Structure 1
């Protein structure tokens, strides 16, 4: 049993259910789903890396936050998880045993302005837009004026 300010945090095999005090520490440590590339930070579920039924403990090193989607994938056998969560040494693999790493760049925050437009667009075949042959349907909400 590991103690933090006089309160038991890691309870080993004495409890299967993660105590609230331990859950709060794990959620704070992880800051959301720990699967590489996942940005879900809300409604996470605390999961035993080594399952309780396989002898896993309810210690912070064996607990990790997963979003519901990745938690479901893990229990379906499509996401492998191994390692020590306390020292950030967790390895994620797909169902073909390939290592998962953070992919791509983070999206722009919501509300951020779009990137500036650079250059001019060219049609792949060099065609141009001729306004003589372009027509738009009338907007039914726009009032019509007679001449």
Structure 2
């Protein structure tokens, strides 16, 4: 008899409770509603981006200068590694035309020794302004 109650009781409870259960409709929005939501989110993102950009430009204009210097230094180093034998890094740093020609004719001043030292000098220094517009064949000697 106990086994019958174990089987019948859940069926009876399920029968009476299932009648009140209702499935909730799926959430759906129209395309126009989606466009409105998307436009609102874009406006909020633009406002936040403007806020942070304004704060960054007001508080520290040196940060952007520092980032530009770091990018310029990185570009000069990469050019020195990749195309140093032809003096492309020196062209990027603003030297006269005779220096890259001399680099090309000597294959970097003795099979790449001068561009190698140029790259090491660029890595070692924090401020590369001393190497910009430098018309000497060996930029790190003054």
Shorter-chain TM band: under 0.3
Q: If each structure's helix is expressed as a fraction of its own residues, which one has the higher value?
A: 2
Q: If each structure's strand is expressed as a fraction of its own residues, which one has the higher value?
A: 1
Greater Rg by CA? 2
Structure 1 length-normalised TM: 0.21
Structure 2 length-normalised TM: 0.21
